[in-house]
A and B are shown apart, each in its own frame.
Chain A
Amino acid sequence: AQKVTQAQTEISVVEKEDVTLDCVYETRDTTYYLFWYKQPPSGELVFLIRRNSFDEQNEISGRYSWNFQKSTSSFNFTITASQVVDSAVYFCALSEAPSTGFQKLVFGTGTRLLVSP
């Protein structure tokens, strides 16, 4: 069975601090996909990144960076120089590779990030 664990329920930081959101996953599949989504107070999910299990290269996009470590089954997300607009709930998710049809996403419980001025 697939499982995603986000142990940090809530994190509070002051603007300009760096913050890392942890994500640990479990799967028996050798091919799978990992995702991060942002959910601001409005409720709409915002796609941040998708990474397949064969690509362990770290990725940077502006102030966002992701560290994928297959050896520890982790896919952590770091926000550098956080801003108030980063305040949201962040979800890590996992899906099997869509070998036959579209595969469902399994979400973690989310981490609420509060960035204060």
Chain B
Amino acid sequence: GAVVSQHPSWVICKSGTSVKIECRSLDFQATTMFWYRQFPKQSLMLMATSNEGSKATYEQGVEKDKFLINHASLTLSTLTVTSAHPEDSSFYICSAGGLAGATQPTYEQYFGPGTRLTVT
């Protein structure tokens, strides 16, 4: 159980275009989803936290207008990289947590397989 998928797994786009990445919790409903970014051979950096039905909370230094996050349901969050540029090329990973309806707090984050974005 607790499977998180991401689509697409990799994408190549031209500079100036927008790319949407989907994160889905397949067998559970998550109240909270996180978006991370990982540059080659570096650690994961949290970009934003999104709770279902509310606006995402962005980390310092992350451009809200460039990285649009929508968390419309308990099983789906999307990250849209708008007007992508080569410096946006990275590995984007989502995680889902906070099982909806759980009677006890749950602390696990379940990670998706990641999406590799290359902007040419």
Chain A positions near chain B (C-beta within 8 angstroms) = 33, 37, 42-45, 47, 50, 91, 95, 97-98, 101-110, 112
Q: A101-B32, A102-B31, A104-B34 are in contact. Are A44 and B44 (CB under 8 A)?
A: no
A116 to chain B, nearest CB (A): 19
Q: Produce 1/0 per residue, B43-56, CB < 8 A to A.
A: 11110010100000
Closest to B30 in A: A102
Taking a contact as CB atoms under 8 Å apart, the answer to whether B49 and A44 are in contact is no
At the interface, is chain A mostly helix, strand, loop or mixed?
loop
B74 to chain A, nearest CB (A): 13
| Bound: A62/B113 CA distance, A | 25
Chain B positions near chain A (C-beta within 8 angstroms) = 31-32, 34, 41-46, 49, 51, 91, 93, 95, 97-98, 105, 107-114, 116
Please give, as numbers and ranges, the residues of chain A lying within 8 Å of B95 by CB-CB distance: 45, 105
B53 to chain A, nearest CB (A): 13
Task: Indicate which residue in A45, A104, A110 contacts B49 across the interface (CB closer than 8 Å).
Answer: A104
| Bound: A102/B97 CA distance, A | 7
Q: A44-B114, A45-B111 are in contact. Are A91 and B46 (CB under 8 A)?
A: no
Please give, as numbers and ranges, the residues of chain B lying within 8 Å of A37 by CB-CB distance: 111
Please give, as numbers and ranges, the residues of chain A lying within 8 Å of B32 by CB-CB distance: 101-102
**From B32, B44, B49, B91, residue with most partner A Cβ within 10 Å:** B44
Taking a contact as CB atoms under 8 Å apart, the answer to whether A43 and B31 are in contact is no
